[in-house]
Amino acid sequence: MKYDVYGVGNALVDIQARVSDQALAATGFDKGIMTLVDDIQQQSVLSSLGDVSLNRCAGGSAANTIVGIADFGGKVAYAGKVSGDEVGDFFLKDMRDLGITIEVAPAASGPTGTCAVLISEDAQRTMLTNLGVSITLSEADIDEAEIAQAKYLYVEGYLLTGESTKAAAYKAIDCAKRNNVKVAFTASDPFLVNTMRDEIWSLIEGPVDLFFCNEEEAKSLTKLTDPIACAAEIHKHCENVAMTLGANGSIIMHGGESFPIEGVATDAIDTTGAGDMYAGGVLYGITNGMSWKQAGHLGSHAASRIVSQLGARMEKKFSPEEIKQLMA
C-alpha cells in the first residue's frame, strides 16, 4: 500500500507558550480546556504575554498523530484545509518536510486556523482555537483514490462539529469502507462526547474498526465509572479499542482480549499532544507488523516522551533500535 495511514482533520498551526498561573488567570479563560475564539481574542491574549517565547508548528489533533507516524518512519497522507496565506504556507511546508503527502487545495480567502496553546506550570494546556478556514474542509477535498491506497483511515472527532467538515469526514469513511480500508476514529474531547454521544455510538457500532478515547471520554460515553468496564462495554460494539489512562498507561481491547499497557514514568512539563502521539504509536505499530500489545507499548512510550518536552512535536525521535527493543 502507498500509505500506512491517511488522516483527516482540522488543519491548525499551533502557537505554544509557557505561562505562569498568574498570567493564565489574567487571560480570563478556563484552565486546561479548549475554547473557540476569534482572531482578535487570540491575538489579544498572545500580545498580553509580553516577551514570552512562542513556538510554532503544524498541528491539529489528526495532524499531530500523522506527524507522529511519520516520525516513526511510517508512510502517511493528510487532508486538512489551510489558506493561501503565510501561516498556511508554513503548515504545508512543515508537513511536507516530514514526508507527509498533503494535496488539498488551499482556500482562496480567510485565515489559516491557529491554536494558541498556553502551557502552565503543572503541565496543563489551555487552548484558544481560531478555526479559520479549517472549517471549510469539504467533501470535494476528499480523494477516494488516495484513501484507497491506505491501510487505515484516521478521523478526528472534532470534524463532527461543523457541517462541511462532518460531510468530509463521512465521505472519507464511506470511501474507506468501499475500498476495504480500516477506519480509526478518535473521540477528541469529553465535551464532544457529551454533546454527540448518540452519533459517536453510531460510528462505533458501524464503520469504525478502531476507537481511540481517554478515560474521561469513555466514562462519558458508557455512563460507567470503572475504566476496564468502560473499555469492555465499548469493545462489545467495536472490534478494537485503545483507551488511555494518563499516567496509569492504557488499555487495548482486541479479539475479545484486554491488554493492559503500563504507563512510562516521566516528569511531565506539557501534556499537549499526548493522546495524539499515543494514537500515532499504536497506528504505526499495527500497520508495521507489531502485535496489538506491542503497538500499545510503543504508544505508551511515545506519549511519555512527548509530555516530557514542550509541544506536540517529538524532539528526540525513536530510533529503529528502540522500536525493536519495544517489540521484544
Structural domains in the chain? 3-11+60-111+132-327 (3.40.1190.20)
Residue 250 is predicted with a pLDDT of 96
pLDDT in tens, 260-310: 999 888 888 777 778 999 999 999 999 999 999 999 999 999 999 988 876
Distances in Å between the alpha carbon of 168 and those of 43, 143, 159, 195, 276? 29, 10, 8, 20, 21
How far is residue 214's CA from residue 54's CA, in Å, rounded to a whole number? 28
Region of residue 123 (left: phi > 0; alpha: psi -120 to 50; beta: else): left
Residue 72 is predicted with a pLDDT of 94
Residue 269 is predicted with a pLDDT of 75
- Amino acid sitting at position 266: T
pLDDT in tens, 171-228: 999 999 999 999 999 998 888 999 999 999 999 999 999 999 999 999 999 999 999 9
> Do 322 and 300 meet the contact criterion of CB atoms below 8 Å apart?
no
| The three grid cell numbers given for residue 60, joined into one nine-digit string | 491539529
Other CB atoms within a 10 A radius of the CB of residue 304 amount to 19
The pairing of strands 3-8 and 76-79 is parallel
Q: pTM (2 decimals)?
A: 0.93
Q: Which residues contact 70 (CB under 8 A, 6 or more apart)?
A: 76, 98, 99, 100
Q: Which residues contact 290 (CB under 8 A, 6 or more apart)?
A: 298, 327
